Structure 1
Amino acid sequence: MTTAPSHRTGSVAWSDTQLLHALEEVVETEINRHLKVAKEWMPHEYVPWSDGRNFDGPLDGEPWSIEQSKVTDIARTALVVNLLTEDNLPSYHHEIATLFGREGAWGTWVHRWTAEEGRHSIVMRDYLLTTRAVDPVQLERFRMAHMSEGFESDNRHSMLHSVAYVAFQELATRISHRNAGHHSGDPVCDRMLARIATDENLHMVFYRNLLGAAFELAPDQTMQAVRDVVVGFRMPGHGMPGFERAAARMAIGGIYNLRIHHDDVLQPVLRHLKVLEITGLGPDGLKAQEELGLFMGGLDDQAVKFEERQQAILARKAANEARRA
């Protein structure tokens, strides 16, 4: 959507089944568009295999040590978080396949999305192990713990909540991957994560366009779903071991924080769909729109305070490093 249409008031609530059926044609159109612009790529082409060597264990290789890693400390943290997030793909597939179904256009998209996302964990793990970027034992233990917990969406209210969530989450993942690459200190890593980020952006466009169509069909319900998702947003990896500490480090390091979340994730989707400009809403939709606007203003204020703390922390860190030099 590129304009802010005046929607009819959606006084009759749509069921999930009705919405899935009504949006089927939109999904088919978006799949065809996606397949035209998505480029095939091979994970193995982004891994510097010549850097690899055996680890300790049955093959009597060299144990891992942090000095072997080419990437920066902040990138090491982000890479583990991002890979563990991608690793939980079976749970994500179960969530969306259960909600959207496995038949027709919806099923085609569910399986295509899963196949494309699978490449991300493949190439990231191959890169991290081949270049010895992270501790392989810790990584595997984290993977086992995270996947043993599985994933349950925060947005189980309706299919509209799930569509709204992934529209923002795919963009958030793209930003996190891209920034991790920029901060990695390794051009090979940067190139690999840029390739992944391109996929995530295409997935975001798919869900964003679907969300726009949902606003046309059920404006009040969609507005309430967007309000709920934005206010309660959490990244899908929030349940992994040590996530809070890792997220704090990534925030200070500029990988993903409140300012990025507000400016580069929430605002672009809301602006593109002109969510805060939609007219013709009923009482529930109008209330949700007003609450969304107030929340975004408050989040911007929080981001300003975060930036002030971030600068103070970075200044202290720089001063300490200067004294040690």
Structure 2
Amino acid sequence: MDIESGLIPVGDIAEAVDGFLAASPAARGWDVETAVDWSRADAGLLSEGQRSAVEFITLIEDHLPGYFEVYHRYFPVDDSVDARTFVHNRELYHFTVRWALEEDTHARALTRYQQASGMAERDALRTALAVEGRRPFDLPYEHPVQFFAYALVQEKATQMYYQQLRDVVGDPVLATVLSRLARDEARHFSFMADVVGRYLRVHGDAVVEPIRDVVAHFRMPLADTMRGYWRWALKIADVAEYDHTEAYEHLVKVIDRAVDARTDQVDELVRFIDQCRIVA
């Protein structure tokens, strides 16, 4: 299926975007320069595993240009699409640019922490980030709901990890940063959950298989491109007792809220998601 043919109505995406922006006005945002007292940051208060976790999540967050480019490529706002699709994509773009700004703030906050706490020297860190930052990122999906279902799981899993890491780190400054990041990720998840719910209400069983495919092949960002990703991911998961499949429970809740009466296909999807959690 091509992307354009599987979209939800413009009114639905506009309502989801308006709701997100109304719940998170720019005035309530935060900036790296003034939100944290960086002079108190001290990586000496962290364990080796906690320092490794900070390095890892900085690399993930700093790949924002690649993530943003995916949405521009699959939801273009130019003459490569017809007028109806353009209008849909333009509404989505209002969310995407705000999301990108907030994710870029996350990347800047984590790099600033590394510098201020004594973990890394600025020029060396820039060079290290460029190694992974130059690698390509893609989500090779064919149905638009898949981009939102993927982000739903990814944003919730990231939120949960930041909360759990915050609860164990030794540096209060880092804990403050992680709290702010987790709150942003929670709002991003809420938007994705809203959109996935709308897809289920509009398209019903037609989006069940695309969502199932996302869960079946789910990988967190950079899992297929970062050298040593899996060894590193397992190490930082142990630091905060983290398992990304815990986010699947929240996908099931979205499905249950969106579907008044489960069809056989939806029942099978929920069983499959639950099985993925058990296996993991």
Same fold judged by TM-score > 0.5? yes
State the match for 2:174 in structure 1.
189
TM-score by length of 2: 0.84
State the match for 1:162 in structure 2.
147
Name stretches of at least 5 consecutive residues in structure 1 with no aligned partner: 1-13, 53-66, 304-325
State the match for 1:59 in structure 2.
none
Q: Which of 169, 193, 208 is residue 208 of structure 1 equivalent to? A: 193
1:292/1:272 CA distance change after superposition, 3 Å: closer
Q: Which of 62, 72, 87 is residue 87 of structure 1 equivalent to? A: 62
State the match for 1:100 in structure 2.
75
Superposition deviation, residue 98 in structure 1? 1.5
1:172/1:110 CA distance change after superposition, 3 Å: same
1:137/1:289 CA distance change after superposition, 3 Å: farther
State the match for 1:262 in structure 2.
245
User: Greater CA deviation, 237-246 or 122-131?
Assistant: 237-246
Verify the 8 A CA contact 1:88 1:146 in the aligned structure 2: yes
For 2:221, what is the secondary structure of its paired residue? Answer: coil
* 1:299 counterpart = 2:274: no
State the match for 1:272 in structure 2.
254
For 1:210, what is the secondary structure of its paired residue? Answer: helix
Name stretches of at least 5 consecutive residues in structure 2 with no aligned partner: 78-88
User: Greater CA deviation, 117-126 or 240-249?
Assistant: 240-249
Distance in 2 (CA, whole Å) between partners of 1:192 and 1:161 is 30
* 1:40 counterpart = 2:29: yes
What is the root-mean-square deviation in Å for CA atoms of aligned residues? 2.6
User: Greater CA deviation, 219-228 or 160-169?
Assistant: 219-228
1:73/1:272 CA distance change after superposition, 3 Å: same
Distance in 2 (CA, whole Å) between partners of 1:96 and 1:74 is 33
Deviations 1:148-173, CA, capped at 9 Å, x for gaps: 212122x4222121111011111111
Q: Which of 138, 148, 151 is residue 137 of structure 2 equivalent to? A: 151
Superposition deviation, residue 143 in structure 1? 1.4
Structure showing greater radius of gyration is: 1
Deviations 1:12-45, CA, capped at 9 Å, x for gaps: xx7521343x332222212222222212212222
Verify the 8 A CA contact 1:48 1:131 in the aligned structure 2: no
Deviations 1:233-275, CA, capped at 9 Å, x for gaps: 1110312232111111123223422xxx333x11022123318
1:276/1:18 CA distance change after superposition, 3 Å: closer
Q: How many residues align?
A: 265
Residues 42-57 of structure 1: pairs in structure 2 closer than 5 A: 42-51=31-40
Verify the 8 A CA contact 2:201 2:259 in the aligned structure 1: no
User: Greater CA deviation, 219-228 or 196-205?
Assistant: 219-228
Distance in 2 (CA, whole Å) between partners of 1:193 and 1:32 is 26
Residues 208-287 of structure 1: pairs in structure 2 closer than 5 A: 208-238=193-223, 239-257=225-243, 261-263=244-246, 265-274=247-256, 279=261, 281=263, 286-287=264-265
TM-score by length of 1: 0.73
Distance in 2 (CA, whole Å) between partners of 1:43 and 1:31 is 25
Distance in 2 (CA, whole Å) between partners of 1:294 and 1:87 is 33
Distance in 2 (CA, whole Å) between partners of 1:270 and 1:36 is 26
Distance in 2 (CA, whole Å) between partners of 1:43 and 1:274 is 38
Q: Which amino acid aligns with 2:164?
A: N
Distance in 2 (CA, whole Å) between partners of 1:85 and 1:31 is 25
Superposition deviation, residue 134 in structure 1? 4.8
Distance in 1 (CA, whole Å) between partners of 2:160 and 2:125 is 22
